[in-house]
Structure 1
């Protein structure tokens, strides 16, 4: 796949004055916004807000306007300043990284983007702060960015020369026994739910809902991912094969739209905005301030299994892949099982899967036939013994329980004032600040599991791993899920292929953190391009078996060409209509977000009306 050159910033001043509109008219309706904006402004350009105007915004948001600078900006000083030293000390702590509005959880992507702070940030604590920032950006023609968790691989949660709406401090979670969306009384039955503010991470939600409340909320696997961003992008967690996507369980959203108004969106009020927020991508339709998600009864147990097998030859490895595919179809293709089988070069196969609703003994019995097959062969060897563990479901995100019984599985926020419930799964630690070299995904249709088609999938997997490792994320495909979970997901903006996908295939490569200015942060771009090319070849091999496969918007190729079709398929025209209705002036821009084809790659210059 050829990688296109990124457009350089081409900032030109508007040739004609923009129409001046009163705040009252703007607040009347999102549909009244005029589409006259041609270019956004950068610091130093005529029209950039004067100091007095920034000061006025600061007073309006209760002093919570921050002028941002990277903590690595003065690392070349002798000695380095305190901000640099502190940032380097905490670089491996994702909670500390997230608490710095000038940083993101991903430091960049080769030939694509690098993490650079906004010019200013509003550290929002309530919807009024968000509305003030939105109105200020619209009035002064500024590039606006929204960041909660800051995990975006695509770099959508930061941009230089912009105004950032930073929702980190809006992180409260509240539980409801009988929630009815606004305006839906008499239409929808009350149901248990949880309301989560936009800056909360999934560990905050799990601690409140599961550890504290004894219920389950469908969220993400990585505990430091922001709730709002994940829901808006679709949202898969370890147990999505049972309870569906996070987006499909959204009952109501509170969102500030481009006119600065705070709106309620649900099935009865602003239904098209509601539908667009369910998988249409974060940062495109408005700034979400609160989400309310349905909750479920917990199963008795959650658990996981791990295993690594190495084959002695290519022929043995092909046989191992074939047995793994067949075994998955026979024994694991159901709502009990999620997460990954991984296929690597060197003829190595790894299992890292989770289960729900089974005991440890039942999980062991499920895997016994596969282990018997491996042990019966002389050309396949277990290099990491099979292990199955189960625990009461309420303790899966219980930090104190895990510190006592499974301390190696987690990495705690080690700062003295850190909340006790904050931890990261050890397996996610290598993504803290990582620099992406290549990343692609593809939905694999369940038809490939049919006995007569399995050989095609096996051939594709074997060919793929000759270039780069690939993992099958079974929880990120809803084929095999209960009918109710599939029905809810069908009523979202997520690509329809997810409904019939048994897995999302992912191939990726990354390197150590490389924030601009960080000492020693000099990515080897030649190596990065070689590895990105290897990812290309890996996914080309898989797409030979699934030629029209779409991609998951949150885990995909930055350089994807037909991204509208790749991310949303037939849902894109409806999403584009919602964008025109609620943000016709294109205030909200993210890379490969809905409506972004109308703007330059940096989001500063409008290409067409």
Structure 2
């Protein structure tokens, strides 16, 4: 069933009414939010920490334990081993294990990234409820509310901004809620007779995309729009909007959400879909994880699977800066002519050493058709052998059965196309892309993103775009993620994305530009494994200079909430644009006291940076 582009959904109509009269432009945020801050100032002004008079007694914790049993755990980070004995064999083994994203995901006291220099450091909660079912989540939410605790939610643990961890808190950990159920004809609660049944999959909040792809694609021959990184949690990605490798064809993961079960701040289990609690449903689709409630279950549309998925990988070295400038112009022209359509996704990177790296995927094309698309670009390179050197690869363009794209076949293992969880006894479907190993356990130095509008590919603007990319690359590497932007996507995918809380800038963006830097696993206080702060500061400054060049061309570009700058002072506009006022209305309806807090999440401007003190 394709969403209409000509009508306004009842849920969105209600949201528009709630936000009527709000004029959302840069520079007026403080004035707009002043009444909201004043309204939030009533009630308790500070959450309790261990040692405070109001911190729950052992008797009170035991009451929670009676409700959730062994699901209540006292949290300790495995890094404690290294803090006490940094030269030990156990510490050496731990830092090796930190490069395995499945090890990180299965540790209650860890997150997929270990921190961001000068921003945040991965810190364990005091207690966690390792929820096995929705009742466990309800018990944790009610306990946090009654005892005025800082509550934090973690599923997959992928958060560059550190939103899935907080010291001195109670953690709701949904990792064990990972059931996956396929439906031939799903209809959401309250939607009977109003929305046609469709093929769907229901997943628990702790499921990760590798396992969902295995169930839906490898085993059942369908397609569900999810994340490119296979160890990302399903619930977190949906709530961030959700771009994946093939989003240019299928749209946002949030656009395929049919229904969610969510525990709100009052401890009530609510169903949210287009017919039931439609305002909450809209907010969950791109409004950011951890702000509106704890999602416990999601149902997503299953799409038809194309016959073939494929990839294009090549590295082109320009022999001079002037040749590299010309190469950037060539790839920008080629993108405009040939890549702005549902067939293509993933990345084109520009590096300061005059290297262009192409890491693209395609769907709906055969290998020969994909070769034909790229041949004109390759011919241009061949015509200038003194300027451009293409690194040889016999697998420059590959195509495989779409059904086996995420399967850990022996062929892909031998060629290094896929990596597996190397822990003894690990499930065979614990797989991930080799490139994601570099992200496991990383410490970020800096990270920024910007939506690039499709108008930049018009004839009169392409040269300016190419010049900006070249200037940025002189400072730091930048990448165009062509799948993270819906210009060129099918109308139905764009319409579904329009009915989400995502920044509308994403709808007309041909790409998301990303500029970031990171270091290997490190942790303050562990001798020999301290973060390299001097290098981090240099890299962060270089990223800032590169983004300054981009902002000369796009001064008010929005940013993708899941991949953004921790220090963005204008985050409401950057992440959600004109949708922020409506999101705040949803927040006030379902969480008026601000139980749910994340850094730069909806309503977080009402609290101190750590989420413990309500601001006047």
Match of 1:187 among 181, 185, 194: 194
Query: Where does residue 491 of structure 2 map in the other structure?
Result: 483
In structure 1, how many angstroms separate the alpha carbons of the residues matched to 2:287 and 2:471?
33
The question of whether the paired residues in 2 share the 8 Å contact of 1:301 and 1:391 is answered with yes
Query: Where does residue 305 of structure 2 map in the other structure?
Result: 298
Is 1:418 matched with 2:456?
no
Is 1:228 matched with 2:235?
yes
TM-score (ref. length: structure 1):
0.92
The question of whether the paired residues in 2 share the 8 Å contact of 1:72 and 1:517 is answered with no
Match of 1:439 among 444, 447, 461: 447
In structure 2, how many angstroms separate the alpha carbons of the residues matched to 1:89 and 1:509?
21
Alignment CA distance shift 1:494-1:78 (3 Å) = closer
Equivalent runs, 1:212-361 vs 2, <5 Å: 212-361=219-368
Query: Where does residue 137 of structure 1 map in the other structure?
Result: 144
Query: Where does residue 123 of structure 1 map in the other structure?
Result: 130
Query: Where does residue 175 of structure 1 map in the other structure?
Result: 182
Displacement of 1:62: 2.0
In structure 1, how many angstroms separate the alpha carbons of the residues matched to 2:256 and 2:81?
45
Is 1:460 matched with 2:468?
yes
Displacement of 1:88: 3.1
Displacement of 1:490: 0.3
Supply the RMSD in Å over aligned alpha carbons: 1.6
In structure 2, how many angstroms separate the alpha carbons of the residues matched to 1:188 and 1:402?
43
Displacement of 1:427: 1.2
Match of 1:390 among 358, 383, 399: 399
The question of whether the paired residues in 1 share the 8 Å contact of 2:316 and 2:356 is answered with yes
In structure 1, how many angstroms separate the alpha carbons of the residues matched to 2:353 and 2:534?
24
Displacement of 1:83: 6.8
The question of whether the paired residues in 1 share the 8 Å contact of 2:340 and 2:488 is answered with yes
Q: Deviations over 1:27-55 (max 9, x none)?
A: xxxxxx99512110000110100011111
> What secondary structure does 1:69 align onto?
coil
Query: Where does residue 469 of structure 1 map in the other structure?
Result: 477
> What secondary structure does 2:376 align onto?
helix
The question of whether the paired residues in 2 share the 8 Å contact of 1:175 and 1:194 is answered with yes
In structure 2, how many angstroms separate the alpha carbons of the residues matched to 1:467 and 1:88?
31
Query: Where does residue 109 of structure 1 map in the other structure?
Result: 116
> What secondary structure does 2:529 align onto?
coil
Q: Show structure 1 runs of 5+ residues with no match.
A: 1-32
Alignment CA distance shift 1:79-1:336 (3 Å) = closer
Q: 515-524 or 143-152: which moved more? A: 515-524
> What secondary structure does 1:443 align onto?
strand
Query: Where does residue 544 of structure 2 map in the other structure?
Result: 536
In structure 2, how many angstroms separate the alpha carbons of the residues matched to 1:132 and 1:498?
37
Alignment CA distance shift 1:109-1:77 (3 Å) = closer
Is 1:497 matched with 2:505?
yes
In structure 1, how many angstroms separate the alpha carbons of the residues matched to 2:565 and 2:355?
25
The question of whether the paired residues in 2 share the 8 Å contact of 1:71 and 1:83 is answered with no
Displacement of 1:417: 2.1
Query: Where does residue 409 of structure 2 map in the other structure?
Result: 400
In structure 2, how many angstroms separate the alpha carbons of the residues matched to 1:417 and 1:35?
52
Alignment CA distance shift 1:35-1:177 (3 Å) = farther
Alignment CA distance shift 1:307-1:498 (3 Å) = same
Q: Deviations over 1:220-279 (max 9, x none)?
A: 000000000000000000000000000111000000000011100000000000000000
In structure 1, how many angstroms separate the alpha carbons of the residues matched to 2:89 and 2:355?
45
Displacement of 1:500: 0.4
> What secondary structure does 2:82 align onto?
coil
The question of whether the paired residues in 1 share the 8 Å contact of 2:133 and 2:177 is answered with yes
Is 1:599 matched with 2:593?
no
The question of whether the paired residues in 1 share the 8 Å contact of 2:205 and 2:235 is answered with yes
Alignment CA distance shift 1:539-1:77 (3 Å) = closer
> What secondary structure does 1:293 align onto?
strand
> What secondary structure does 2:317 align onto?
strand
Match of 2:585 among 545, 560, 577: 577
In structure 2, how many angstroms separate the alpha carbons of the residues matched to 1:81 and 1:270?
54
The question of whether the paired residues in 1 share the 8 Å contact of 2:116 and 2:444 is answered with yes
Query: Where does residue 15 of structure 2 map in the other structure?
Result: none
Displacement of 1:520: 2.1
Query: Where does residue 93 of structure 1 map in the other structure?
Result: 100
TM-score (ref. length: structure 2):
0.91
> What secondary structure does 1:362 align onto?
helix
Displacement of 1:419: 1.0
Is 1:73 matched with 2:80?
yes
> What secondary structure does 1:235 align onto?
coil
Q: Deviations over 1:194-214 (max 9, x none)?
A: 001000010011011001110
> What secondary structure does 1:565 align onto?
helix
Alignment CA distance shift 1:82-1:524 (3 Å) = closer
The question of whether the paired residues in 2 share the 8 Å contact of 1:409 and 1:425 is answered with yes
Query: Where does residue 42 of structure 1 map in the other structure?
Result: 49
Displacement of 1:400: 3.2
> What secondary structure does 1:408 align onto?
coil
Is 1:562 matched with 2:570?
yes
The question of whether the paired residues in 1 share the 8 Å contact of 2:95 and 2:521 is answered with no
Alignment CA distance shift 1:37-1:349 (3 Å) = same
Alignment CA distance shift 1:294-1:75 (3 Å) = same
Is 1:166 matched with 2:173?
yes
> What secondary structure does 2:510 align onto?
strand
In structure 2, how many angstroms separate the alpha carbons of the residues matched to 1:217 and 1:554?
20
Displacement of 1:89: 4.2
In structure 2, how many angstroms separate the alpha carbons of the residues matched to 1:55 and 1:483?
54
Displacement of 1:85: 5.9
Query: Where does residue 8 of structure 2 map in the other structure?
Result: none
In structure 1, how many angstroms separate the alpha carbons of the residues matched to 2:472 and 2:563?
18
In structure 1, how many angstroms separate the alpha carbons of the residues matched to 2:436 and 2:81?
29
The question of whether the paired residues in 2 share the 8 Å contact of 1:302 and 1:390 is answered with yes
Q: 272-281 or 57-66: which moved more? A: 57-66
Displacement of 1:76: 4.6
In structure 2, how many angstroms separate the alpha carbons of the residues matched to 1:117 and 1:54?
18
The question of whether the paired residues in 1 share the 8 Å contact of 2:210 and 2:406 is answered with yes
Query: Where does residue 10 of structure 2 map in the other structure?
Result: none
In structure 2, how many angstroms separate the alpha carbons of the residues matched to 1:80 and 1:606?
42
The question of whether the paired residues in 1 share the 8 Å contact of 2:482 and 2:512 is answered with yes
Query: Where does residue 371 of structure 1 map in the other structure?
Result: 378
Is 1:51 matched with 2:58?
yes
In structure 2, how many angstroms separate the alpha carbons of the residues matched to 1:332 and 1:391?
20
